[in-house]
A = this chain, B = another copy of it.
Amino acid sequence: METLIKLVNQKLDEYIEIKYPKTIFEAMKYTLSLKGKRLRPVMCLETAKILGGNIESALPAACAIEMLHVQSLIHDDLPCMDNDDFRRGKPSNHKVFGEAAAVLAGDALITYAIQTIIEQSKNLSDSQILNMVLEYSKAAGVYGIIGGQIVDIESEKKHFEDGKEKTLYYIHLKKTASLFRLAVKLGCIAANASADTTIELDEFALGFGLAFQIYDDIMDEISSFEEMGKTIGKDKSAQKLTYTTLYGLDNAKNKCFELIKKCHDIIDKYESNVFEEILGMVEHRLEARTN
């Protein structure tokens, strides 16, 4: 996993060179270079690898997903959204570059990612690249993370077009699972996976995405700033709809373990150390909290 993270960090740095006008490139690179676990790009590369594909050909797509993820973090942290001053333990983008530059840096990352997929992808056909860009665009927009984010924000105002349970599922599905599913899907496209394999691995990504958001909801309640690198306890104070506020802490933990077990059932046959490590990470942190 460390090797893949290094590769992603190196390529992210390489793909975005600082040119004129400097401010915007610096703002884009700032949040992107804050060290994170790079879960999404790593899952994209690992998917291509376990399917016998070439890691190289999935690298631009993997980095594009991280750019999109970082874009969503930059905009989510804005004062008019979640108003968060810290991200990955450092001041958030708008605290360093101002709100205007942060809005623009986010905007820029959305299409810079697409440009990266189109210009940097190697050994892929036009049809594969086009397919990647389409999946990316859906996951980035109203049918993906934006859909999740708007419902998340509306939930603070206690405005539910649907019931609470459905609304919570929609938020987790769209806001969080979308990008994990995109990561695995682009890995599948890079490796020219069959339709059956793609569906199977999508189930895995969906399960992991839902588990990850429940884990995040739990951590927001019981974790610390030092552990998470961002302000903790904000969901509760913002009266957000989360898995723990709706179902309670114990049910949240049980659901998370159940989802991770389902992920194991799908992925174990591929004997991937990287996926084992990712699932293990969530399990171990949760177990440490259960005892």
What CA separation (Å) do A140 and B129 show in the bound complex?
19
Dominant secondary structure at the A interface: helix
A141 touches B21 (CB 8 A): no
Segment with Cβ contacts to B, from A2-10, A85-93, A97-105, A238-246:
A97-105
Q: Which of A54-62, A110-118, A216-224, A250-258 lies on the face that meets chain B?
A: A110-118
Q: What is the CB-to-nearest-CB distance from A176 to chain B, in angstroms, rounded to a whole number?
A: 16
Please tell me which one of the listed residues B80, B130, B170 contacts residue A100 in the complex, with CB atoms under 8 A apart.
B80
What mask results when residues 15 to 34 of chain A are scored 1 for a CB within 8 Å of chain B, else 0? 00000111111001000000
List chain B residues, Cβ under 8 A from A170.
21
- Contact call A99/B75, Cβ cutoff below 8 A: no
A162 CB within 8 Å of chain B: yes
Interchain CB contact under 8 A, A107 and B75: yes
Is A142 an interface position by the 8 A CB rule?
A: yes
Could you say which of A145-153, A226-234, A260-268, A279-287 contacts chain B?
Answer: A145-153
Question: Once the chains bind, are B104 and A107 in contact (CB under 8 Å)?
Answer: no
**Interface residues contributed by chain A, number (CB under 8 Å):** 50
Interface-lining segment among A41-49, A131-139, A204-212: A131-139
Inter-chain contacts of A110 with B (CB < 8 A): 107, 110-111, 140-141
Pick the contact of A150 from B23, B136, B161 — CB < 8 Å?
A: B23
A291 interfacial by beta-carbon distance below 8 Å: no
Whether the Cβ atoms of A100 and B141 lie closer than 8 Å is no
A108 contacts B154, C-beta separation under 8 Å:
no
**B24 near A150: Cβ-Cβ < 8 Å:** yes
Give every chain B residue within 8 A of A98 (Cβ-Cβ).
80
A141:B106 contact, CB within 8 angstroms: no
Please tell me if A119 contacts chain B, counting CB pairs below 8 Å: yes
Give 12 pairs: A residue, B residue, CB < 8 Å, sorted on A.
A20-B161, A21-B147, A71-B107, A75-B104, A106-B107, A114-B133, A114-B134, A115-B138, A118-B134, A119-B134, A126-B127, A130-B130
A118 engages B130 (CB within 8 Å): yes
Contact A103 B130 (CB under 8 A): no
Measured between C-beta atoms, what is the minimum distance from A156 to chain B in Å?
10
Q: What residues of chain B lie closer than 8 Å to A108, measured between beta carbons? A: 141-142, 146
